[in-house]
Chains A and B, each alone.
Chain A
């Protein structure tokens, strides 16, 4: 594996993880474009990391685990994706996980609850997985472009046929059939739904008036289980349109989505998602070192950005009960939040890299963890 050489090269002087974290923390001031220092994994680490949560992260977690264990053979990492974000947080709050993967940051309520296990410092939300919500559709022969208003109207069932004037206006010159539109959504609770509904309600608050959350709020759509369920159903039904994490759409084509109020329609690209995150992420820390980001979708107006980024977190205590577990978790999440870690995920799970400045912040925050 490529990263092995990279990591090995920079491993000469540094062995201790704590030393690394402080190194990473100083990097941004040293260089104008901060590149999170190559994180070196201490090969003498031993132990078991138990974690779980977000299934959106599962491919990335598998890649991270493989890459990490290749360096530190004494470490076993068990990431249980069957729990989903909610289950991951519940188990983590109960003290059975070292960290939780979650598509949303801890609620204020859960942040308070976490102090029972994490001490007064509470918990840190570290954004480590970035992708995009892709709008997939099945309409042979059409290269679909959608404005945010049209998108909101389609998913609230206000536009019901493909030859609707609003869609025609977005796709000048395209021949649109009179096929009815089947809006395909998630029937299970999902972080993708949470991201997509908050996008719709922020960008088109007058059209999308429903509740934002992990449960799809509009009755009458075709609800399918899992991102793969949405993808399969769209694939099978002509006239269907759905949303899914871009890394899971397979051979389907995704629509180009309008950015902001401009006339620009941008298709998903990892760089586009990274750009969008860079522009739109607003820090909303809940405790010292916390990196909770509220994404302000209305700020995404630049045509180098993709309109609907999808963000997922690792959540861990500021103070672990067992310092040995703290060391392990810091090493692993430090690796995830490094340039190499992000490249591993991009290559194996198709995710978008987290901006370098945030990676530097992650290393800073990890330095606070004991």
Chain B
């Protein structure tokens, strides 16, 4: 990025008019009226201030991220390197009974991924279904209201979800889990002694699934809306039904975007703390079971929330060490999301094509103008989303 931008001539003329009143402008710019040649303009104070602010904001993100990582590493190292069996502090309290840091954090990492995976399996299909309904099935007015409601779901504090989970979801799931345990108990994940209080990882994952709905569905919705109108119309013209049109034109086009939306949802699920801490009866172990009281794998974030208050000294640092591992997992998920988007993303090849096509589409079918307009807006949205 540079302060000296080359712009096309009309703009240069405009800026020349204004800069004549600003004598402090330095003179590396081409003389006025230099004909069709491209004109270089120098920045004025407002430009420089704005540039400084924006680069400052961008830099701040990196500084904050680095500061958080540094804090986690500095705090965690003493606990990671300590001998957990002989250390007077680590052999008591929340960290007692583990050979070393890895024996402690391993099951927690499993629990974090397991709970999030269940939440994704439940939540992602529903979120994508909602997005498809809003973008392709619902009447415009209904779509608007529904989209607004889904976004509102993102504003509910997680402690509220936690209480809702305890009071509503736990008892609601009891008959289902009893049935699953009784009839499908031979499948390992439904095995074990079924919970009588509903304090299971399943209940936690159901609430998590609701919490990640708004993220996945709102991003997916925008991507579905970007599907080139011509592709859809072509599919319909070839005799495809609405469902076939969606599978032929919409889903392949949106695939990478939906994958990255899902992984963003996964990122939310990985870090969720309060709802999990409130709902699940945890135990630090590697367990597949989702219907039991005492065999629910614990997540990193909930474990920190539950034990930080009584931990002191190295115990606290051990908990911060588990936080470092969560940081690493989240970073990994985001990187995988980017790799998937880059590898499978059709955008790079499709975008220019679509740009050439769109004016023709709007000219040919006036009825679809509004749709195209929407597409234009959401292209940039999507790219920001995909790159973040």
Contact = CB atoms under 8 A, between A and B. Distances in A.
B196 A90 contact: no
Interface string B297-321: 0000000011111111101100000
B241 to A, nearest CB: 48
Given A90-B312, A225-B277, A188 B307 contact: yes
A85 interface: yes
B199 interface: yes
A95 interface: no
Interface string A158-193: 000000000000000000000010101001111100
Interface in A183-238: 184, 187-191, 211, 213-215, 217, 219-225, 229, 232-233, 236-238
Interface in B250-277: 277
Interface string A75-86: 000000011111
Contacts of A90: 312-313, 316
A65 interface: no
Nearest to A185: B281
A182 B277 CA distance: 19
Contacts of B306: 187-189, 225
Given A182-B197, A182-B293, A223 B310 contact: no
Contacts of B313: 90
A89 interface: yes
Contact of B196 (A83, A187, A239): A239
A87 interface: yes
Nearest to B306: A188
A109 interface: yes
A55 interface: yes
B295 A86 contact: no
Interface residues of B, number: 36
A240 interface: yes
B195 interface: yes
Contacts, number: 114
Interface string A16-59: 00000000000000000000000000000000000000010000
Given A109-B88, A109-B89, A236-B171, A86 B311 contact: yes
B195 A222 contact: yes
Contacts of B195: 182, 222
B277 A220 contact: no
B204 interface: no
Nearest to B278: A225
Contacts of A222: 195, 197, 199, 281, 293-294
A180 B307 CA distance: 29
B166 A188 contact: no
B123 interface: no
B94 interface: yes
B30 interface: no
Given A222-B293, A222-B294, A213 B92 contact: yes
B196 A189 contact: no
Contacts of B316: 86, 90
B170 interface: yes
**Majority DSSP secondary structure for residues of B touching A:** loop
B301 to A, nearest CB: 13
A163 B313 CA distance: 45
B378 interface: no
Nearest to A160: B193
Contact of B94 (A215, A224, A236): A215
Contacts of B199: 222-224, 233
Interface in B186-215: 193, 195-199
Counting chain B CB atoms within 10 Å of each CB, the highest count among A109, A191, A217, A233 belongs to A233
Interface string B67-97: 0000000000000000000001100111011
B228 interface: no
A87 B281 contact: no
A80 B197 CA distance: 32
A220 B309 contact: no
Contact of A180 (B88, B89, B196, B198): B196
A87 B308 contact: yes
Interface string B209-235: 000000000000000000000000000
A25 B41 CA distance: 85
A119 B285 CA distance: 44
B282 interface: yes
A219 B197 contact: no
A182 to B, nearest CB: 5
A187 B199 CA distance: 12
A223 B283 contact: yes
A235 to B, nearest CB: 10
Nearest to A219: B283
B375 to A, nearest CB: 47
A224 B276 CA distance: 11
Counting chain B CB atoms within 10 Å of each CB, the highest count among A187, A189, A229, A239 belongs to A187
Contacts of B170: 236
Contacts of A83: 309
A331 B97 CA distance: 42
A48 B310 CA distance: 25
B310 A190 contact: yes
Contacts of A110: 312
Contact of A189 (B94, B97, B278): B94
Which 10 pairs from chain A and chain B are nearest by CB? Answer: A84-B309, A189-B310, A220-B294, A237-B197, A188-B306, A86-B310, A222-B281, A86-B312, A222-B293, A214-B310
Interface of B: 88-89, 92-94, 96-97, 166, 170-171, 193, 195-199, 277-278, 281-283, 285, 293-295, 305-313, 315-316
26 contacts: A55-B309, A83-B309, A84-B308, A86-B93, A86-B310, A87-B308, A87-B309, A110-B312, A182-B197, A187-B282, A188-B305, A189-B307, A189-B309, A189-B310, A211-B97, A217-B96, A220-B295, A221-B281, A223-B283, A229-B278, A233-B166, A236-B171, A236-B197, A237-B196, A237-B198, A239-B196
Given A220-B295, A223-B294, 5 more contacts: A82-B309, A215-B310, A224-B281, A237-B198, A238-B196
